[in-house]
Amino acid sequence: MVRGWGGWLTILGMTVAGCLFCGIVAGEIPGDVVHRSERVVAVRDINPQAKTHVLVIPTVHYEDALELATSDPAVLAEVIEVGAAVARAAGIFESGYRLVFNTGPDAGRTVFHAHLHVLGGEQLGLFGRVS
Ligand code: AMP
Ligand code: ZN
């Protein structure tokens, strides 16, 4: 499943080469998985920024949303569909939710395996410039 080198990871005090989300997809790194199919895995974010905060991750390693879109648009569509299904399962489909792809340092990107954030379950703040 690992298509590219994903950088360095520190796990239990050891620094290893690899990709955190490839590790979660492979079941080698623990994750609170809420959805799993051949092409998409969804896990609860370890540091939630809203009552509901789930990450929808393609099982194949793509660097970012653009690479996912250009390489496999059907998987991008499935990622968005799973995001909506996660919102429905969490009971926030009607109250509203936010789908976010972060890209690059100004967006605070930390994991370089494409993933969609699903946020909701409470009134979300405005997004954009810091204060
Ligand atoms: P981004 O900043 O868009 O790259 O988002 C990466 C997200 O991954 C952050 O919201 C982190 O809280 C989340 N995260 C980091 N490690 C884990 C983990 N082991 N399990 C679940 N979520 C994680
Ligand atoms: Zn990866």
Task: Express each pLDDT in 30-53 by its tens digit.
Answer: 999 999 999 999 999 999 999 999
Atom of ligand 1 nearest to the CA of 100: 3
Q: Quick one: pLDDT at residue 128?
A: 83
Region 31-120: CATH code? 3.30.428.10
Atom of ligand 1 nearest to the CA of 108: 2
pLDDT category, 17, cuts 50, 70, 90? low
Mutate to test the pocket of ligand 1, among 25, 28, 111, 127 (most ligand atoms within 8 A of CB): 111
Element (H, E) at 63: none
Q: Quick one: pLDDT at residue 6?
A: 52
Rounded distance, CA 84 to CA 51, Å? 16
